[in-house]
């Protein structure tokens, strides 16, 4: 059971907007630690998608955006494309564990 | 250009010790604010943080595995080594090493290496 909770799956049609939630607690997201997001395409290593809650690395389309509020964070994907079909993971720091924690991952299906 | 690559055995017997090496290029592990971490992913399951070594040789481990893990760095060779003792079939996973930044995230990842624990 992951410290950060994500929905197991989300889906949307091409062109639609989807959001993926990441719920933590007072020892991680709620303690003001940053949240980062990774995209893992099938059979490949994770790729940094969002860092510091809302920042995109160079090359990541602006269709991807992140936000954080209270003990939760969200990843939003607009203008959904078939190539967005992947697993998405949130990541933060937990003070009670003194280390990184990941969410359980969310599988995005593009209908 | 930062790259990382994991190497080690693909098959380990139960109770044995696993030794994995991460060989990297494009950065120095003696640079302030840099680290290298290990993360694993059992087949079909989520990512799990294992350990992290910082530029100043400080080390952090996942509490659930702390007694079994050791992480070391060799700055001159641009390598980080992870050892995990008393391997069990539940430790079967793809093991990744990744470049860590002071922002707290892993911005570059290796391709991963699948380790199977079986007799």
Rounded to an integer, the average pLDDT of A10-16 is: 97
Contact list in B for residue A58 (CB cut-off 8 A) is none
| Residue B115: per-residue pLDDT | 98
Q: Please name every residue paired with B116 in a beta bridge, in sequence order, or none if there are none.
A: B11
Average pLDDT, chain A: 97
Q: What is the share, in percent, of chain A residues with pLDDT greater than 70?
A: 100
Q: 85-104 in A: which are within 8 Å (CB) of B?
A: 89, 91-93, 97-104
Q: Count helices and strands (H / E) in chain A.
A: 0, 9
The structure tokens listed for B69 are 């893990």
Rounded to an integer, the average pLDDT of B54-76 is: 95
Nearest to A43 by CA among B105, B41, B9: B41
Rounded to an integer, the average pLDDT of B41-62 is: 97
Q: How far is it, in rounded angstroms, from Cα B80 to Cα B23?
A: 7
CB contact under 8 A, B61 and A99: yes
CB contact under 8 A, B105 and A48: yes
Q: Please name every residue paired with A93 in a beta bridge, in sequence order, or none if there are none.
A: A100
Residue B39 has pLDDT above 90, yes or no: yes
Residue B90 has pLDDT above 90, yes or no: yes
| Residue A1: per-residue pLDDT | 82
Q: What is the share, in percent, of chain B residues with pLDDT greater than 70?
A: 100
- Contact residues for B56 (Cβ-Cβ < 8 A; gap 6+): none
Q: How far is it, in rounded angstroms, from Cα A93 to Cα A46?
A: 18
- Residues of chain B with a CB closer than 8 angstroms to some CB in chain A: 37, 39, 46-49, 52, 60-63, 96, 103-112
Phi and psi dihedrals of A45, rounded to 5? Answer: -75, 155
Rounded to an integer, the average pLDDT of A82-88 is: 98
| Residue B66: per-residue pLDDT | 80
**A51 Cα to chain B: minimum distance (Å):** 7
- pLDDT tens digits along A36-75: 999 999 999 999 999 999 999 999 999 999 999 999 999 9
CB contact under 8 A, A100 and B49: yes
Q: How far is it, in rounded angstroms, from Cα B69 to Cα B72?
A: 10
Split at pLDDT 50, 70, 90, the class of B30 is very high
Contact list in A for residue B96 (CB cut-off 8 A) is 45-46
Residue A28 has pLDDT above 90, yes or no: yes
Chain B interface disruption, residue of A6, A35, A99, A102, most B CBs within 10 A? A99
The structure tokens listed for A98 are 């003194």
CB contact under 8 A, A99 and B46: no
């Amino acid at each position: 059971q992951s410290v950060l909770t994500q929905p197991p799956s989300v889906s949307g049609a091409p062109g639609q907007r989807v959001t993926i939630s990441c719920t933590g607690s007072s020892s991680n997201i709620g303690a003001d630690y940053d949240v980062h997001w990774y995209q893992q395409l099938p059979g490949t290593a994770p790729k940094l998608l969002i860092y510091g809650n809302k920042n995109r690395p160079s090359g990541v389309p602006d269709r991807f955006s992140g936000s954080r509020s209270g003990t939760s964070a969200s990843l939003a994907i607009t203008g959904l494309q078939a190539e967005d079909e992947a697993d998405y993971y949130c990541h933060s720091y937990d003070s009670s564990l003194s280390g990184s924690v990941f969410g359980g991952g969310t599988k995005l299906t593009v209908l | 250009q930062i790259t990382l690559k994991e190497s080690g055995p693909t098959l380990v017997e139960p109770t044995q010790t696993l030794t994995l090496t991460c060989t990297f290029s494009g950065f120095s592990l003696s640079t302030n604010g840099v680290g290298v971490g290990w993360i694993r992913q059992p087949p079909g399951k989520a990512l799990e943080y294992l350990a992290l070594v910082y530029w100043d040789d400080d080390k952090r481990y996942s509490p659930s595995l702390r007694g079994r893990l050791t992480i070391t760095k060799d700055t001159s060779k641009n390598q980080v080594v992870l050892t995990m003792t008393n391997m069990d079939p539940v430790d079967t996973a793809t093991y990744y090493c990744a470049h860590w930044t002071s922002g707290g995230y892993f911005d570059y990842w290796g391709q991963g290496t699948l380790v199977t624990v079986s007799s």
